[in-house]
């Protein structure tokens, strides 16, 4: 009984398959309407027409009898296409969604111009596109795509490239839009985590009297500043060290953080690198700009370094600090030796002012009298001093002198009032004092109450100075 049932099942199955086969053949020959509509997304009208022609010229009987593999091969032959999907919308509509290839570069082959797509295909090109890098040499597209992938994973921006040169050894040269040429090794491009550069000793070299112009030029570092600036710009990923005094700091952080430098530290080092290259370029510019036939150069650039933070500025409510150039001698007090006569350096501070500013006239009375050495280190001022010692035979006698970074300093003794007016666009005046500022013992006179020409057009005076008593009431 079981055997009989099994034979029946087999017979029924075979009959079913036969009927399905017959019906399928008949079904395929049923007169369904041909594909009447093709929807193509992702292409412009001219590009869509190419695909429409392929479909209509293929003579597909209907949407059921559609050779997808054949259609895929035809569409893939169109070089502008990266990938696509085909959907049937019964009974007679075909939908195709297309993603165009990304155009990466341009080149010339066999006398014809081509674009290079991210799909690894060449696309005919009639117009030069300045925004795309041009590839010279024996182009191997697969090697180019490998290079593009490595560049994208690095800190270098592909958009900064103007030209690429490929050699038979598969080595590449990269020319940037700024005119720099980068010669890549044959091996893989490795990411850089830390850049340490000591620049050529230009400043030290030109400070020697025997240095000639030729020697100075030989000591101008070119590649070093470029490396430092590139690394500093990418401080989010790269550490950069320019100062040997930072070596221990960086090494300590690398050891403590498993070979990593914190983002905060990388930023600090980057700022220092930019400052370092700026000072380096400034020194070169100053040296080369010094026209030996001129008394004064057209431009002067300077780099000041923080030496000391002071207790207060010109007034107790102000902050102040001492800055000096790395290359100029500094005023200093050594082992109690006196700078001038009985002058002992106690305080040093700077005053920054704009044109037409009048400062003064100030002095400190007993028991907090001050001697001063006044120097104009930037710009030009008219320095004024007056004897305000009432017991003196020269009481009320005054004089003035123009001070600049090309002149000497002025010594102001006890009991003399001092002030100045700014003649240049800006001016920086340095005070060296033999005692501490004492607000309670400071006195002065309104500078405009004096019969003196300050040589300014529109005087700028602080509220404090304008409120000082007139000279006649001193």
Residues involved in catalysis:
362, 372, 431, 465
Strand 416-422, strand 358-364: pairing: antiparallel
What lies within 8 Å, CB to CB, of 474 at 6+ separation is 388, 443, 445
Q: Which residue, among 231, 233, 266, has the nearest Cα to 250 in the 3D structure?
A: 266
Question: Which of 191, 278, 182, 199 minimizes the C-alpha distance to 236?
Answer: 191
Contact 145, 158 (CB under 8 A): no
DSSP code of residue 280: H
| DSSP 3-state percent helix, strand, coil across the chain (nearest 5) | 30, 30, 45
SS3 124: strand
Cα separation, 163 vs 143, in Å, equals 16
- The 3-class SS string of 298-366 reads CCCCCCEEEEEECCCCCCCCCCCEEEEECCCCCCCCCCCCCCCCCCCCCEEEEEEEECCEEEEEEEECC
Assign 253 to helix, strand or coil. helix
Provide the 3-class DSSP secondary structure of residue 6: helix
- Cβ atoms 239, 246 nearer than 8 A: no
Which strand (E) or helix (H) includes residue 389? none
Instruction: Determine the angle formed by the axes of helices 223-233 and 263-289, rounding to 10 degrees.
Output: 150
Q: Which helix (H) or strand (E) holds 249?
A: helix 247-256
Angle at CA 204, nearest 5°, toward 202 and 205? 65
Contact 101, 117 (CB under 8 A): yes
Residue 182 phi, psi dihedral angles, 5° rounding: -110, 120
> What is d(CA 138, CA 350) in angstroms, rounded to the nearest whole number?
64
């Amino acid at each position: 009984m079981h055997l009989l049932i099994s034979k029946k099942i087999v017979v029924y199955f075979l009959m079913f398959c036969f009927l399905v086969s017959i019906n399928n053949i008949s079904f395929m020959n049923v007169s369904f309407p041909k594909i009447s509509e093709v929807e193509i997304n992702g292409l412009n009208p001219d590009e869509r027409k190419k695909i429409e022609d392929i479909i209509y010229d293929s003579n597909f009987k209907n949407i059921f009898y559609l050779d997808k593999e054949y259609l895929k091969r035809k569409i893939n032959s169109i070089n502008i296409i990266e990938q696509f999907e085909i959907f049937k919308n019964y009974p007679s509509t075909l939908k195709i969604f297309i993603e165009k290839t990304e155009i990466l570069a341009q080149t010339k082959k066999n006398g014809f111009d081509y674009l290079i797509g991210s799909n690894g295909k060449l696309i005919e090109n009639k117009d030069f596109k300045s925004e795309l890098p041009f590839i010279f040499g024996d182009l191997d597209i697969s090697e180019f795509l490998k290079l593009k992938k490595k560049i994208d994973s690095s800190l270098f921006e592909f958009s900064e490239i103007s030209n690429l040169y490929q050699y038979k050894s598969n080595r590449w040269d990269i020319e940037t839009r700024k005119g720099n040429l980068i010669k890549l090794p044959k091996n893989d491009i490795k990411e850089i985590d830390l850049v340490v550069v000591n620049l050529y000793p230009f400043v030290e070299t030109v400070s020697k009297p025997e240095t000639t112009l030729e020697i100075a030029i030989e000591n101008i570092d070119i590649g070093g500043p470029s490396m430092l600036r590139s690394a500093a710009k990418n401080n989010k990923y790269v550490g950069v060290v320019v100062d040997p005094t930072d070596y221990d700091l960086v090494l300590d952080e690398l050891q403590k953080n498993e070979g990593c430098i914190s983002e905060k530290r990388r930023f600090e080092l980057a700022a220092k690198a930019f400052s370092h290259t700026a000072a380096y370029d400034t020194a070169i510019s100053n040296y080369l700009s010094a026209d030996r036939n001129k008394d004064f150069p057209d431009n002067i650039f300077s780099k000041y370094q923080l030496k000391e933070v002071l207790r207060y500025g010109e007034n107790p409510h102000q902050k102040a600090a001492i800055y000096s150039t790395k290359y100029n001698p500094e005023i200093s007090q050594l082992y109690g030796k006196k700078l001038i006569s009985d002058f002992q350096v106690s305080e040093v501070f700077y005053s920054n002012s704009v044109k037409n500013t009048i400062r003064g006239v100030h002095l400190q009375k007993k028991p907090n009298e001050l001697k001063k050495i006044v120097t104009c280190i930037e710009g030009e001022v008219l320095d004024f001093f007056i004897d305000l010692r009432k017991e003196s035979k020269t009481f009320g006698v005054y004089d003035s002198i123009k001070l600049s970074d090309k002149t000497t300093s002025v010594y102001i003794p006890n009991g003399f009032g001092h002030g100045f007016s700014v003649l240049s666009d800006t001016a920086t005046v340095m005070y060296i004092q033999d005692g501490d500022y004492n607000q309670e013992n400071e006195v002065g006179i309104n500078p405009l109450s004096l019969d003196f020409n300050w040589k300014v057009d529109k005087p700028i005076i602080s509220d404090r100075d304008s409120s000082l008593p007139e000279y006649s009431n001193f």
